[in-house]
Amino acid sequence: MGKTIVEKIFSRAAGKEVISGEFVFTKVDLAMMHDITAPLAIKAMQEIGCKKVWDASKVVMVFDHQSPADSVQAAENQKMLRNFALEQGIIKYDVGEGIAHQIMVENHVLPGMLVVGADSHTCMYGALGAFATGVGSTDMGCVLALGKLWFKVPESFKFEVEGKLGKYVYGKDIILRIIKMVGANGANYKACIFSGSVVEELGMSDRFTMCNMAVEMGAKTGIVEPDKVTLKYLKELGRDYEGEILKSDEDAKFKVFELDVTGMEPQVAKPHSVENVVGVSEVEGIKVDQVFIGSCTNGRYEDLKIAAEILKGEKVSKKVRLIVIPASRKEYLKALKDGLIEIFLEAGAIVEHPCCGPCMGASFGLIASGEVSVSTSNRNFVGRQGSPKGMIYLVNPAVAAATALYGEITDPRKIK
């Protein structure tokens, strides 16, 4: 029996042949923590008597959730983290550079790596052909101390996506439809491998979106096996990869799901669950108070360009506040140089510095009770973007931009 890419990555990390279902205590290649999870992880490391991280060159710390500090408590946390980074010699320490997950794929993750992050959407890095998964702060404390962690090697689900994408239908719509297909718990502790002719044609931005949201169906990670698109992306970042390209063997064991996206309309996840997915035609006309275009899910240049093409020369509805947040400094600069930021500002949007923004519901841009948010982010749980009495609809950037223009959920195919 052949091996899946997941089994191959774990075999390399463990230094022995392993198979799905096996428990292994194995090394990790990179560990990421951010300003919310890092304090607890450091405390856990210190409580087991460890004073020095196992390898400072393999620890990445990013301030993104409350950056710049939006409270005295956040400022105190970040002060402690700065001191910790200095004491430990952590050089992969990013402040003001953007959202941790985007920073990781731009600068640190490579195909074949085993990466852990103290954040559930760490699974996004799987779009580069790595195994990347979120862990709790206590587990991260163990990783900081030892550079190792216990894993159960996940079984793999394979999603074969075929057909032809229609206008204004993207990776976000594919993953929402897949989550609807299997349910919020349908892929618990599985590795979700996205493949098929449609995925092969997707750019890295759409692949990141799909892998980012694999956790919304309970998955341990999402993966797209490395190919020419992956290598081109890394090369454009000045990160030529010449190592081994791991792929699943043809006779590897998967549970296979098939999806034909031909004729599929833009998808929308209604409150208060990511699996509560319908076509945009079923929710058109719902009045909206805020539109958020950004997050680690859909805050890249490609997403911003989609929105800008719809907003160019237009004005945001006076009934709506539109918040646009690029995912990283690199993505912001690309949008700035291409004139996208000017388009957003002239349309009446608020453009913020690269960070998580309203996505986690504890910083700026929150919604009040009874308000409706249309968001390109990844979760619409109760209270996720502010008041627990607010409502969040998850959409792609085109639906978000069209909605901002009309003040109600709008199918972008009807306006351009």
CB-CB neighbours of 263 under 10 Å: 10
Least confident of 193-202, 207-216, 340-349, 361-370: 361-370
Share of the chain above pLDDT 70, in %: 100
Q: What is the mean pLDDT of the chain?
A: 95
Model confidence at 146: pLDDT above 90? yes
Q: Which structural domains are found in the chain, ordered by start?
A: 5-259 (3.30.499.10), 268-414 (3.30.499.10)
Q: How confident is the model at residue 67 (pLDDT cuts 50, 70, 90)?
A: confident
- Distance between CA 304 and CA 378 in Å, rounded? 16
pLDDT digits over 96-109, tens only? 799 999 999 999 99
Interatomic CA distance for residues 325 and 279, integer angstroms: 25
pLDDT classification of 11: cutoffs 50, 70, 90: very high
What does the pLDDT read at residue 362?
A: 76
User: CA-to-CA distance for 259 and 263, rounded, in angstroms?
Assistant: 12
Nearest to 395 by CA among 263, 290, 260: 290
pLDDT tens figures, 326-378: 999 999 999 999 999 999 999 999 999 999 899 988 788 999 999 999 999 99
Nearest alpha-carbon partner for 342 in 330, 351, 353 = 351
The span from the first CA to the last CA of the chain, in angstroms, equals 51
107, burial (CB in 10 Å: exposed 0-12, middle 13-18, buried 19+)? middle
pLDDT confidence band for 416 (50 / 70 / 90):
low
Residue 93 reports pLDDT greater than 80 = no
Distance CA(8)–CA(246), nearest Å, equals 7
| CB neighbour burial string for 195-230, b if at least 16 within 10 angstroms, e if fewer | bbebbeebebbbbbbbbbbbbbbbbbbbbbbbeebb
Arithmetic mean of pLDDT, 153-174:
98
pTM to 2 decimal places? 0.95
Instruction: Reply yes or no on whether the pLDDT at 110 is more than 90.
Output: yes
